[in-house]
Each structure stands twice: as C-alpha cells, then as structure tokens.
Amino acid sequence: MARARVEQQPAAGTTLIVGVGLSIAFLLFMAFLNVVKSGNLLNESNLLFAALIFYSGAGALYLGFGVTGTESYVRFASLATWAGLLANTGAVAHRWYAAGHPPFASIYEMLLSFVWTLAVLTLIAEKRFGVKVIGTVTMPVAIVGVVLMQLLPSEVRPLVPALQSTWLHVHVTLAMLAYAACALSFALAMMFLIQDQVKTETFLAATSFTSVAIYTAIVLTRFEKWGALNVIAWDPQRKSELFLAKGMRLFVSIPDLGWLMLMVFAAVAAPFAIYAYARARKDETLFATANRAVFISILLQVVALAVFFVRVRDGMYPSLDADGLFATNLATSPFILSGLVGSIFVSLMYLLLLWRREDLQELLPDAASLDRITYKTIAIAFPLLTLMIAAGAYWANRTWGSYWSWDPKETWAAITWLVYAGYLHMRITRGWRGRRAAYFAILGFAVVMFTFFGVTYLLPGLHAYA
Amino acid sequence: MAGTNHLGRKLWQTLSSIRTGVILLIVVVIVAAAGTMILQRPITDTDEMQRTYSPQVLRALDALQLTDVYHAWWFILLMVLVSCSIVAASIQRFPNSWRYFSRPYKSPNDSFRHSLATQATISIEDEEAGVLAAASALRKLGYKPDLVTTEKHVSLFAERHRVSELAVYVVHASLLLIFMGGIIDGLFGWSGFVALTPGQQSSKIEMRNGTVRTLPFAVRCDSAGQENYADGSPKRWWSKLAIVQDGQDVRNKEIVVNDPLVYRAVRFYQASYGPTGKVEKITFSVRQANGEGTPRDIALAPEQQVQLDADTSVVLAEFIPDYVVRDNQVYTRSQSVDNPAVHLVVESKRSARPVNIWLPPIEGFAENALSTYVFEPQDLQMGHYTGLQVSHEPGQWGVWSGVVLMGIGLAFVFYLVHTRYWVVPVRDAHGHPGLWVGGTANRNREAFEENFKQLVEEIEAKLKAESAALARLHTMSMAGN
C-alpha cells in the first residue's frame, strides 16, 4: 500500500500544484474582471481578497504536503504565502495611509495586523527552523482571520480621544507580536503531539469536545422557544447594531434555525459520546463508528453554516422585545460565525490526522526539537506579554486614571500571563517536557483566543474598541 | 516544643513548594475569571444587577462578595498567600543559587567529574602545554579562564553570565514590588469624580462609594470644550484647569484625555464632557411691535434683567430644553435640546402687570401680542460641564519600578545563560596524561552542547598544531646534529 503511494507521488504532486495554481489564477482573473468593472485596482478590499486567495492556495498546498509528503508542495506553498503576505502588506499599508494611524484601532484593524504577523512568523518558522508543515495550522487560522475581516465593520473610523496615544501603538504592537508567538507555539505543540504519536482517538476526544463546547455555548445562549435562534438586529441605514436602550441590544429570532443548531449539536456530540462509551467499555472497534460520526457531523456543520449564512444575510425577522420585523447581519454575530467556522476547521484537522501518512513523522523535525522550539517561542511570547500588559497599564493610567481597573480584558490578559507563567515554572523547576508541556501550550493559546475574541464579544467592559 | 517545630517546618515546606504555588495560581485564575463572568457592583448599575439576577441569587452573591470579587477580603487574603508562597519559595531556593553565585565551584572533584553530563577527555603529551592550549581555546571563544592552582596540579575554570542564576529572584522580587504597590493603593489610594462648569471652583471630590473628600486645595475650570471630526464623532476634549491654594493659582494646565494634571500626587483626568441642560446665554433680536426704531441684539442669561428703554425691562425667566404641554402645564420632557421653549417676562411702568412671552408662542400661556416689543431668538449657548476623574495612587511608583525590574529580570532569565567550563589534567589507568574538559549550562542545553563540541575541537586543533611545531623543531634539531 505504502509502496503504491510512493509510485503515484510524482503524478499526484503535480496535480495538486496545477489544480491550486489554476484555481488561484481563475479567482484572480474573476477578481480582475470585477476590478475592471469598478475601475479601482489597488484598494484595500482587493488587496485583502488577493491575500485571501493566496493564503487559501498556500493552505491547500500545505495540507497536501501534510497528507502526501510531497516536497515540491512546500516550495509552492511558501511562494503562495509570500504572495499573500505581499498583498496583506499592501492592505496594511493602504489602511495605515487612509486612516492616518497604524491599523490597531478596531477589531478589524487588529485582525489585519494579526494575520500579517502570523504569515511572517510562519515563513520564519519554515525557513529558519525547518518546520515545514506549520502552514497546515497557521494558514487556516489566517484564512479564518481574513474571512472574518470581510464581515466586520471596516470603515475607517477616526480615533476616539482615548486612543490618541503613542502607548496605543506600543501596547497593540506588543500584543500582536505576543499573540502571534502564542499561535505559533500552539501550532508547534500540535506538530509535537503528531510526532509524539498521540493516539488518534485522543485527538478525536479533543476535537469533538471543542465542537461540543462551541455548539453548547450557541444553543445555551441563543436558543429561543419554538426552535428559533436569537441574533442581534442590524440597522442597514446606519450600518450598526440596533439598540433597545443604551447598552441593551435588540435581539431578533430567526425561526427554525434553533432546531438546526440543536440537531448539529447532537451530531457533534455523537462522536464524543461514542468515544466515551468505547473508552468505558474498552471496545476499540467502536472508534471506526466514531470516525464515521465525525464525517456526518462535518456535513451537517457545513449545512448549518450555509443555512445560517443565507438566513442571516436575507430576510426580516420578528423580535420578542419589539414590534415589527428587523434585518440582521453577519457582522452582528461574529462570535457565532467564528464558532461555526472554527468547529468545522477543528473537525477537518482531525480528518487530516486520520488520513495522515505513516511516514509523516519523517517530514517533521524530531519530537525533541519540536518540544524545544515550542518552549523557545513561549520564552519569546512571555516577555512580550509582560511588556504588553505593562504598556497597557501605563496607558490606562494616563487615560482612565488607574493602572489596573479589573476590566475583563485586563483580567483575562493577566490570566493568560499566569497560564504561561505556570507553563514556565513547570518546565523549568519540575522538568515538564513533551506531552504535558504541549497540552499546556495548547491551553495557553485557547486562553489567548478567549482574551482576544471571547472577551470582546461576550464580556462587557472598558475595552470597547477591541 | 518539638511538635510545634515539626508543624512549623511542615507548614514552611508546604508554603514553599512549587505545588502550593501552582495550586494558588490556579485558584487565582479561577476566581479572577469568575469575576469577569459575574456582574461586578463597582462597574454595574444597581438596576442592571437586579434585572440580571433574581433577589435570592443576588443576596447569595453579595453574601459571598462575588459581586465585588477583586475587593473581597478573601481575594486579598489569596493575594497575600500568593505573595507568601513566592517569598517562601524564593527563600527556600535562594541559598543554593547564592552559593553558585558567590562561591563559584572552580576545581571539580572526582565524583563531580564523573557525574557531569557533558565532558570529554583529550589525550595529551604534556600537562602544561595541554592546559595552555585549553586556555587559549577558551579565550578564543570569548571566555577569561582562571588558573586554579592546587597541590596536585594546575587546572582551568571559565564561566559567563553568572548573574543569570539570580535573575529569577529579580523577577519574583519585582512581582512582590507590584503587589506591594497595589496593596498600598488599595489601602491609601482613592479615586473620585468632580464635575465643573467653566468658572466654577471646587475642592470637594465625590468618591465612588458616595462619600465626599475635601482636598486641601481647590481646582478651578477656566474653560472646557470639545472638538469634533467631520463626521461628528468626538476628536478631542480639553479643560483648562487651575489649582488654587490659599487663594492663589499655583498651577495651570490644559488637560486632554491622555494627559492629566498632577499636583501633590493627586491627578486630574479628563473623563467626560457634556451639556448641563442649563442655558448659558440666549441672544435675541428685539424690535418694537409698532415698527418704530431699529432692531437690536440683546444677550440674556437666566434670571438676568435687561433694560429695553427707560420704562421697560425684560428678564429670561425659564428655558426648557425639551418641552411638552400636558394638563394645562408646561413640562420638561428631557434634557436634550430637541424642542426648546423660552419664557421671557417683560415688565413696563406703562402697563399694569408683567407680560409673559413664550417662544414659540404656546397657546394658553403666551401673551406675545400684548408686548410692545417683539423678540426673535438668534443664538443659543448651552452650558457645558467638564467631568474630571480625580485619583491618588501613592503605590504606583512601586508598580512601575516593579514593572521595569521585571523586564530586566525576564531578559536575564530567558536570554542570559550561565555557562561554566572546567579543564583538569588527569592520568588514565595506564598513567598516560590526558586533559579532562567538562561544562554545564543552566539553560538552552542544545546550543551549549554545540559550543562544547567546538571548544574540544579547538583545543585538539591547538594541540595538533603545537605538536606539529614541536615535531618540526625536533626534526630540525635532529638534522642539526
């Protein structure tokens, strides 16, 4: 079997490159037609779109390399990453020029900078440390980032008085660098786990648990009576969320979407339940059933995403709190959207692992060096996190009159810091290496993601800008 | 006595263990996270608290101080415990590190040499030549080797970045410094708010808990304003402030959002700016009802009386920013200037009673037709207040020095590696001379192993070159013979 694959390799190798190359060319051509029609070539959204196309191509090639191990894929993948980075740099520069300040002032601008940093770090990790498959993890994150950017309100807003400070730039630059380093350490820890031959079932448990957690959160917070799903209403004229009163958003209920979410919740819970049952009964044969359940859950998740997309974009819906019909918009539900996309992404990652070649190990650096590089990236991220919090505190002291106000964002930044401090203590004094350290690094990144997105959309506070 | 001693030791061991430290960290993380999920009293309206939680739940949360986690006594106790744990752990480990630092281990004994992980033995002809070659190799790598003379032999010791052994204590000390600053601020610091209209002066600051603190000096607002972007969103708020002590201006400054005024460790921040809902000045164009004379402009402040001619005067009796008429009464609906009404009273010696003028003429109230003058509003200037946040944080210098110290400490911890090398002449079982080379590094072992290999190769190359030169010398002297 393995032999047959090796023989097929050259043909298969060219197919993917040609396929990806053609689709990139096709998408660029279509985009070009659009550009010709609008007569505006180098604006930000075109550049971002180009970046998205190139990053997607790079992601596909990296994934192809992860699955087949064809060396030539990586060369083209890094070429595509370079091209994407170029377009991304153009978008950053354009934004900077148009806004007159570095792109750090809203969650859209932060994502723009974050994706840029992530692409740079991916190339550094690949060229400098020889971690070739890192793109399989970082590129999809970059793609999700760019897709989210398309949905978030992106108009250049002037800086509110509190943001007019050099400390903003210091604070946010440090945050972006630290968070991108954390993302890299997460990707490296994942590579380590693959290299360390963690059982596929363990990944199954982790990935399906993530999906279950996401859908639990959606269903618990947004499920409305009679199977509707609550989303925030949108005012198309003013291009903003609708408010009932100050600080109280108006929710509309999309009928039947709640049932769909509940069904998908059951579908993603099934593999997890089967896994738990198999573990309890020590019945290895059931894992195959669990894998099949993952397939089904991915299909249903894609359906849920598509239906969510369509129903949110078009249509007017009633509200329980006000009379009349209201529109809604994807921009009002970035959290649900990133949850849905993230869950699909996680499940696909599991499929990738399931289909991995037996000799994937040879393509990665050995486990010991992955472990070491993970530690090194955290050793870079931790001082950056410290300085980021310090710069934020100093800025807050000049703006809000207090260096620490226990604002949720502040608190969660401190929690992130504590988690990584815990990692460093366990590693240095207790000699934690390998798997436990890798799990810790993954936990750290989960907390970072919550601080970055979760706090902004779930918890109220002073950090209203981003 | 022995019992308490034992208990004390046990307690000390528990407190100083890494396990306790990590458990405490986990507890802090959980509690801090809970504080971001549960609505906190200091930053939430009472109404919203009551809307969100049922009375029973709210009572329970309040009883456990979960509605003000970060100021609860048990949270402060937790922070104190964390501090104690850091101190105890540092004290427990410090002597060892200090030994490393103050008394470098220069001449390794046999058992140390035996157990060292990274070592090599190079065969040599002559002890002295070998040690000299090693010394020059170490110098080439940037070390300054010490010649250590014992009764048996002369050996070498070289090290770099010894201070790295102490860096972690610098980080821990900096954390304590930050905590200390925070605790001082928690105990002696305060923060409040004062709203001033231009020209107003006050030394009374309203605290968060509703009490009033009187400062030994006063702050006066000379002027304040807002600048907008083209799209109407605020660009800049500013206030010109003066500090008044004993009737004299001792400090003047224009503050903006990111730039406070500091006087005697009390800081005044630009926090808000908004309309008071009260009118400052209204300008009217006035002309006589019979069309005689020329129209002129007059400016009226509330309650201000202005003579219109020798017999007649007008006073601005009322300004209603947003009026509504209900049940034969004029009411104020809101404070935003959406639908204003002005009430003027014209008194004249020629008429028996004052005439009420309403602009716009509200039916049933306005007697505009009776007046000998006609008023037309030209311009309206609303009063604005500037909101100042006032705070005193005596502990912040502890926090900032802690932050700087932590930056330095972390840089030392992560980027300075304490590397040590020993070179000792030895003899093997057959009595043949050899050069034992050993080394350690406290971090980044991989890079160190590389350097060690390089050092050994360098020594070997030096020895080879020397022996070649020696051999040449030997053959030359042979040839001479």
Mean pLDDT for the stretch of residues B88-95: 88
Residues B269, A401: C-beta atoms closer than 8 Å: yes
| Per-residue pLDDT band at A3 (split at 50, 70, 90) | very low
Whether B125 and chain A come into contact, CB under 8 Å, resolves to no
Question: Is A402 within 8 Å of B391 when comparing Cβ atoms?
Answer: yes
Q: What percent of chain B has pLDDT over 90?
A: 11
State phi, psi for B23 to the nearest 5 degrees. Answer: -60, -45
Q: What is the pLDDT of residue A154?
A: 66
> Hey, are the CB atoms on A382 and B410 less than 8 Å from each other?
yes
pLDDT tens digits, one per residue of A199-250:
778 888 888 888 998 898 888 888 887 788 888 888 777 767 777 766 567 7
Give yes or no for residue A460 having a pLDDT over 60.
no
Q: How many angstroms away from the CA of A20 is the closest CA of chain B?
A: 39
Query: Among B321, B205, B210, B318, which residue's Cα sits nearest to residue B271?
Result: B205
- Confidence at A4, pLDDT banded by 50, 70, 90: very low
Summarised one tens digit per residue, pLDDT across range A112-130 is: 888 898 899 888 888 887 7
Q: Does B169 contact chain A (CB < 8 Å)?
A: no
Q: How many helices and strands (H and E) does chain A possess? A: 15, 8
- The whole-number average pLDDT for the span B449-474 is 85
Contact list in B for residue A405 (CB cut-off 8 A) is 43
Instruction: Supply the mean pLDDT for chain A.
Output: 80
Using the beta-carbon criterion (under 8 Å), do A401 and B36 form an inter-chain contact? Answer: no
* A140-166 mean pLDDT: 72
CA distance B417 to chain A (A): 13
Q: In Å, how far is B66's CA from the nearest CA of chain A?
A: 14
Give the per-residue pLDDT at A5. Answer: 41
- Identify the closest residue of chain A to B43 by CA–CA distance: A461
Whether B28 and A418 lie within 8 Å, measured CB to CB? yes
Mutation target to probe the A interface, by most A beta carbons within 10 A, among B22, B28, B36 is B36
- Long-range contacts for B130-134 (Cβ within 8 Å, ≥24 apart)? B130/B425, B130/B433, B130/B435, B130/B459, B130/B463, B131/B155, B131/B156, B131/B423, B131/B425, B131/B435, B133/B459, B133/B462, B133/B463, B133/B466, B134/B423, B134/B435, B134/B437, B134/B459, B134/B462
Q: Is the pTM of this model over 0.80?
A: no
Of chain B residues 15-34, which have a CB less than 8 A from chain A? Answer: 18, 21-22, 25-26, 28-29, 32-33
Question: Which chain A residue lies closest to B411 (C-alpha atoms)?
Answer: A383
Whole-angstrom distance, CA of residue B116 vs CA of residue B130 = 21
Query: How far apart, in whole angstroms, are the C-alpha atoms of residue A89 and residue A81?
Result: 12
> Rounded to a whole number, what is the distance in Å from the CA of B121 to chain A's nearest CA?
27
**What is the structure's pLDDT at A464?**
44
How far lies A347's CA from each of A298, B203, B243, in Å? 7, 62, 63
Give residue A356's pLDDT: 65
Using DSSP's 3-state secondary structure scheme, residue B258 falls into coil
| Range B345-371 average pLDDT | 83
DSSP label at residue A321: S
Asked if B47 has any chain A CB less than 8 Å from its own CB, the reply is: no
| Contact criterion met (CB < 8 Å) for B258 and A421 | no
More confident residue, A300 or A232: A300
pLDDT of residue A7: 40
- Distance (Å) from the alpha carbon of B182 to chain A's nearest alpha carbon: 9
pLDDT of residue B257: 80
Å from A228 to nearest chain B CA?
22
State how far the Cα of A355 lies from the Cα of B3, in Å rounded to an integer.
63
B61-73 pLDDT, tens per residue? 888 888 888 888 8
The per-residue pLDDT for range B24-46, each reduced to its tens digit, is 989 999 999 888 888 887 777 77
Is residue B178 over pLDDT 80?
yes
- The SS3 call for residue B284 is strand
B2 strand-pairing partners: none
Q: Which two tokens stand for residue A369?
A: 């060096």
Torsions phi, psi for A245 (to 5 deg): -145, 180
Confidence band of B421 (pLDDT split at 50, 70, 90): very high
Instruction: Reduce the secondary structure of A89-146 to three states and give it as a string.
Output: HHHHHHHHHHHCCCCCCCHHHHHHHHHHHHHHHHHHHHHHHCCCCHHHHHHHHHHHHH
**CB-based burial label for A82 (10 Å; 0-12, 13-18, 19+):** middle
What pLDDT sits at residue B477? 66
Calculate the average pLDDT of chain B.
85
Percent of chain A with pLDDT over 90: 9
- Measured in residues, chain A has a length of 466
Domains plus CATH for chain A? 1-159 (no CATH), 206-354 (1.20.140), 367-466 (no CATH)
Per-residue pLDDT at B437: 92
Query: Looking at residue A8, what is its pLDDT?
Result: 42
pLDDT given at position A287: 81
Nearest by CB: B229 against A158, A387, A404 = A158
Is 60 exceeded by the pLDDT of residue A396?
Answer: yes
HSE-CB of A274 using CA atoms within 13 angstroms: 20
Name the nearest CA neighbour of A188 among A438, A416, A433: A438
Rounded to 10 deg, the angle between the A408-430 and A434-449 helix axes is: 170
Rounded CA-CA distance B222/A46 in Å is: 50
Of A363-367, B157-161, B162-166, B192-196, the range with the lowest mean pLDDT is A363-367
Residue A37 has pLDDT above 80, yes or no: no
**Dihedral pair phi/psi, residue B468, rounded to 5°:** -65, -45
CB contacts of A372 in chain B (<8 Å) are 446
Residue B446 to residue A165, Cβ atoms within 8 A: no
- For A246, the closest chain B residue by CA position comes to B48
| CA–CA separation, A349 and A264 (whole Å) | 18
Most confident region among A98-107, A335-344, B26-35, B322-331 by mean pLDDT: B26-35
Q: Tell me the ipTM for this assembly.
A: 0.77
**Across the A/B interface, how many CB contacts are shorter than 8 Å?**
102
In the numeric block, the tokens 């980027």 are attached to B415
For residue B42, cis peptide bond before it (omega within 30 degrees of 0): no
Q: Is B317 exposed, middle or buried (0-12, 13-18, 19+ CB in 10 A)?
A: middle
Contact A421 B25 (CB under 8 A): yes
Could you tell me how far CA B198 lies from the centroid of its own chain? 31
Residue count of chain B? 481
How confident is the model over A331-349, as a mean pLDDT? 80
Looking at residue B208, what is its pLDDT?
A: 77
Predicted confidence at residue A162, as pLDDT, reads: 65
Q: What percent of chain B stands above pLDDT 70?
A: 98
* Residues of chain B found within 8 Å of residue A382, distances taken between Cβ atoms: 410, 414
Higher-pLDDT residue of B476 and B399 is B399
Closest partner residue to B446 among A372, A418, A461, by Cβ?
A372
**B462 interfacial to chain A (CB closer than 8 Å):** no
Interface test with B, best of A174, A249, A429 (most B CBs within 10 A): A429
B295 pLDDT higher than 80? yes
**Amino acid, single-letter form, for residue A222:** R
* Structure-block tokens of residue A199: 């059982």
Q: Which residues of A touch B32 (CB under 8 A)?
A: 411, 414-415
Residue of A nearest to B261 (CA): A398
Q: Which residues of B touch A380 (CB under 8 A)?
A: 414
